[in-house]
Amino acid sequence: MDSIFRKYNSLVVNSKLNDKAFSPMKKNITIFCTLLVLLVIGYFFIANQKKRMVTDNVKANLAMNDLEGPTRLSLPMEYKGMNLVAPINTLNKSTLEDLLKNNVNAVSIIPYAYVDMDAATVNYNNKRQWWGERTEGIITSAKMAHSHNMTVMLKPHLWVNHNFYTGNLNFDTEEQWQRWESQYEDYIMNFAKLAQQENIELFCFATELGNSVAKRPQYWKQLIAKIKKVYKGKLTYAANWDDYDKVPFWDELDYIGVDAYFPLSNEQNPSLKTVKNGWAKHLDKMRLVQKKFGKKVMFSEYGYRNTDFAAEAPWTENKNDINNEAQAIAYEALYQTMTKEPWFVGGFAWKWYADDYHKKPKNKVDYTPQDKPALAVIKKWYN
């Protein structure tokens, strides 16, 4: 019995020793198996993500492949322009060089003025304004653009307090109207003389002032006459897309100027065909206005934000889901449509930042085509 007990005790001891020896091995096997499972899961996750990316890219490429660019039926545009957002402190040569690399041959330079609706006043050349909005910056920017063989349009704009849209500008009394008109005339005549002095090729003397034009047409006609006495270049007015057909003085100007934010499609991500179809009714009206006055049409502004529903209401800024493809398609549809018209001379896309604003995260959604697929579309058509 004693020998049996000793043998049993020996087996137990050996078993414990074997368990101790095997314990690290079991731990290693468990870790290995866990890592293997994680690797397998990771592999399938990455593979699935790549598949989705490839699918998305294929869809995007299929849509972008429709953006064929100019054909033998496309007529050349005289003005392959950009509206330049005024630089804060100075205009760098690199800004103009980047524009030239993308086949831009014209820039619109904008001297802003501020309207106080309560006082019916117009204030400009304020020291608090950005350098590029004041006379000093306008002159330097125009000279630099000319040194790069670019055409310049000088295009005064108004900021109106109380978030007031310029097209609805209105006053209650004749005294207020006359005060505002007198100060606006001083503002415009100052820059008309500057435009002549700097040999600026185009002068756009007002932007989206539909209500004023409708209510006070004689004021505008006498202002045009005064401008012509001091400025000998091409003259236009930037009418909004919804009232350019009501402007009474196109026959006195060189171009019918249109800020071309036409509604084209209410779809979130419309096809090129859909957006092109959206131009039909607008094109019919443009043809009638052009024929009536016998003047060529220039888009003083045009553009789209890189969002869903980009072509639904291009003048609005209430959509913020990024959709670069929708922006690019909207540009392509515009060019394919308008370059078939012999009276279309091109225009100025809205907009191009002279500074690096477009690189800030808060500006990922914006009108500018900088660093977006839409820029390739513009470059192709501006070639």
**First vs last C-alpha separation in the chain:** 106
Q: Which pLDDT score, from 0 to 100, does residue 191 have? A: 98
Nearest to 205 by CA among 165, 257, 162: 257
Per-residue pLDDT at 63: 53
CA dist., res. 305 & res. 312, Å (int): 11
Region for 62 from its dihedrals, namely left if φ exceeds 0, alpha if ψ lies in -120 to 50, beta otherwise: alpha
321: DSSP letter: S
At residue 185, the pLDDT reads 98
Please name the residue that has the structure tokens 């000093």.
Answer: 136
Q: Which residues does residue 115 pair with via DSSP β-bridges, in sequence order?
A: 122, 160
Query: Tokens 């309560």 map to which residue?
Result: 118
Residue 188 · residue 132 · CB < 8 Å: no
Structural contact between residues 324 and 374, judged by C-beta atoms closer than 8 angstroms: yes
CB atoms within 10 A of CB 302: 24
Structure tokens at 278: 């959206």
Quote the CA–CA distance of 345 and 261 in Å, as a whole number: 17
Question: Full-prediction pTM beyond 0.95?
Answer: no
The phi, psi pair for 342, rounded to 5°, reads -70, -15
pLDDT at 36: 58
- Exposed/middle/buried for residue 242 (C-beta within 10 Å: 0-12, 13-18, 19+): middle
Which pLDDT does position 70 carry in this prediction? 86
The H or E element that residue 255 is part of is strand 255-259
CB atoms inside a 10 Å sphere around CB 198:
19
Instruction: Find the helix or strand (DSSP H, E) in which 107 lies.
Output: strand 106-109
Using alpha carbons, select from 243, 264, 227, 234 the residue that is nearest to residue 338.
264
pLDDT score at 357: 75
Q: Report in angstroms the alpha-carbon separations of 273 from 95, 280, 329, 377.
A: 34, 11, 9, 16
Per-residue pLDDT of the chain (383 residues; tens, 9 = 90+): 444 344 434 433 444 444 444 455 555 555 665 665 566 455 555 444 443 433 344 344 435 555 678 887 789 999 999 999 999 999 999 999 999 999 999 999 999 999 999 999 999 999 999 999 999 999 999 999 999 999 999 999 999 999 899 999 999 999 999 999 999 999 999 999 999 999 999 999 999 999 999 999 999 999 999 999 999 999 999 999 999 999 999 999 999 999 999 999 999 999 999 999 999 999 999 999 999 999 999 999 999 999 999 999 999 999 999 999 999 999 999 999 999 999 999 999 999 999 987 788 877 999 999 999 999 999 999 99
**Separation of alpha carbons 317 and 367, rounded Å:** 9
Which residue, chain included where needed, has tokens 């989705």? 52
Q: Distance between CA 90 and CA 145 in Å, rounded? A: 13
Q: Regarding beta strands 112-116 and 121-124, do their DSSP bridges make them parallel or antiparallel, or are they unpaired?
A: antiparallel
